[in-house]
């Protein structure tokens, strides 16, 4: 598996050279693997990389775990490079690269593993998008925490930082009053918290 990841990394390096003027910052392949391992990706998950660049996270997710993966990239030239990388790795049956705006992201009902390597301002603007994730989903952010959510343990890897979050359901008691008096009922709500 390690040899396969190294081969993917070589193909991805060639794609960075092709990107030319378009600017994006890549995540090292070993950090990608650590990101995915840290949130326990399973076959029940779909991996979604917001701002996917050359497609390395969806490609590695599909290659290592055999899961379906989606990459969303705003820049059409970079999205085209990501699509070429998917084809070069023969992973078109598992990986879908979409050119689009991550701030307009809509989730399916199945749980997701969302990966991000974005600046703190954009992460803050993504809060309404994250809040719509289904229960059981996880988010892993490379280098920057998601402000406004409870912070979990920070994973440190040779100067790299990973921040993990999960979408869970909690129950609270709510007082309901009517003509016959008051009672308490359990009300479910969704929360995103670090772990």
Confidence of residue 2 (pLDDT cuts 50, 70, 90): low
Q: Tell me what the pLDDT averaged over the chain comes to.
A: 90
Rounded CA-CA distance 195/165 in Å is 6
Q: What is the pLDDT of residue 25?
A: 84
- Give a yes or no: residue 101 inside a domain: yes
Mean pLDDT (whole number) for 32-46: 96
pTM of the model: 0.86
Proportion of the chain above pLDDT 70, given as a percent: 88
Give Rg (Cα) of the chain: 19
pLDDT tens per residue across span 61-84:
999 999 999 999 999 999 999 999
The CATH number of the domain holding residue 27 is 3.40.50.150
Residue 69 placed within a domain: yes
CB-based contacts of 177-184 (< 8 A; 24+ apart in sequence): none
Asked whether residue 169 is assigned to any structural domain, the reply reads no
Work out how many domains the chain is built from and give that number: 1
Q: 34 — phi, psi (to 5°)?
A: -65, -40
Residue 107 placed within a domain: yes
pLDDT of amino acid 108: 87
Strands 138-142 and 112-116, by their bridges, are: parallel
pLDDT in tens, 121-178: 999 999 999 999 999 999 999 999 999 999 899 999 989 999 999 999 999 999 999 9
In a domain, 93, yes or no: yes
More confident of the two residues 20 and 173 = 173
In a domain, residue 195? The reply is no
Domain presence at residue 181:
no
Write out the residue range of the structural domain in which residue 85 sits: 2-164
Name the band, by pLDDT with cuts 50, 70 and 90, for residue 3. Answer: low
17 pLDDT band, cuts 50/70/90, is very low
Cα–Cα distances (Å) from 23 to 26, 71, 100, 112, 120, in that order, read 10, 17, 17, 27, 18
Find the mean pLDDT for residues 8-29.
58
Q: Is 194 among the domain residues?
A: no
């Amino acid at each position: 598996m390690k040899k396969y990841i190294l081969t993917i990394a070589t193909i991805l390096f060639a794609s960075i050279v092709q990107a030319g003027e378009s600017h994006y910052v890549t995540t090292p392949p070993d950090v990608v693997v650590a990101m995915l391992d840290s949130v326990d990706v399973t076959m029940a998950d779909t991996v979604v990389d917001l701002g996917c660049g050359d497609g390395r996270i969806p490609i590695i997710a599909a290659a290592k775990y055999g899961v379906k993966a989606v990459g969303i990239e705003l820049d059409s030239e970079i999205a085209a490079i990501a699509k070429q990388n998917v084809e070069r790795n023969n992973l078109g049956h598992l990986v879908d690269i979409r050119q689009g705006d991550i701030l307009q992201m809509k989730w399916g009902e199945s749980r997701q593993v969302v990966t991000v390597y974005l600046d703190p301002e954009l992460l803050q603007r993504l809060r309404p998008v994250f809040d719509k994730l289904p229960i059981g989903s996880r988010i892993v952010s490379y280098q920057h925490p998601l402000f406004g959510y409870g912070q979990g343990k920070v994973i440190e890897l040779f100067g790299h930082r990973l921040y993990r979050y999960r979408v869970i359901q909690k129950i609270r008691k709510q007082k309901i009053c009517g003509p016959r008096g008051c009672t308490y009922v359990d009300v479910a709500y969704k929360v995103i918290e670090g772990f």
